[in-house]
């Protein structure tokens, strides 16, 4: 995953992220700015996942995106 591409297309990807993780607010997704580490931390916090599970979900999410 190319972080520059993700950050550049984050506004387009936010809708997909919101659909997958409905507990995350629009403001939180704005603050993530395409940063996978920030997104992992938010998913971990909101859903009570272990760090590894949150990381796997975020990695899987980015892998499914067409960039």
- Per-residue pLDDT at 42: 96
pLDDT at 60 over 90: yes
Give the residue among 24, 25, 14, 29 at the shortest CA–CA distance from 44: 24
- Residue 18 belongs to what domain range? 3-64
Please give the model's pTM, rounded to 2 decimal places. 0.86
The domain tally of the chain equals 1
DSSP state of 25: -
The single residue listed with the structure tokens 């909101």 is 46
Q: Residues 34, 10: contact at Cβ < 8 Å?
A: yes
At 5-53, the pLDDT tens digits run: 777 788 888 999 999 999 999 999 999 988 999 999 999 999 999 999 9
Give the residue among 27, 8, 7, 5 at the shortest CA–CA distance from 18: 27
* 1 or 59, higher pLDDT: 59
Give how far the C-alpha of residue 43 lies from the chain's centroid of Cα atoms, to the nearest Å: 8
The enclosing domain of 15 has a CATH number of 1.10.1470.10
Residue 10: C-alpha distances to residues 49, 50, 52 (Å): 23, 25, 23
- Per-residue pLDDT at 9: 85
């Amino acid at each position: 995953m190319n972080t520059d591409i993700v950050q550049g297309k984050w506004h387009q990807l936010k809708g997909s992220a919101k659909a997958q993780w409905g507990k995350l607010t629009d403001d939180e997704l704005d603050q993530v700015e395409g940063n996978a580490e920030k997104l992992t931390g938010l998913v971990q916090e909101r859903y009570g996942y272990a760090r590894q599970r949150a990381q796997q979900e975020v990695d899987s999410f980015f892998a499914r995106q067409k960039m």
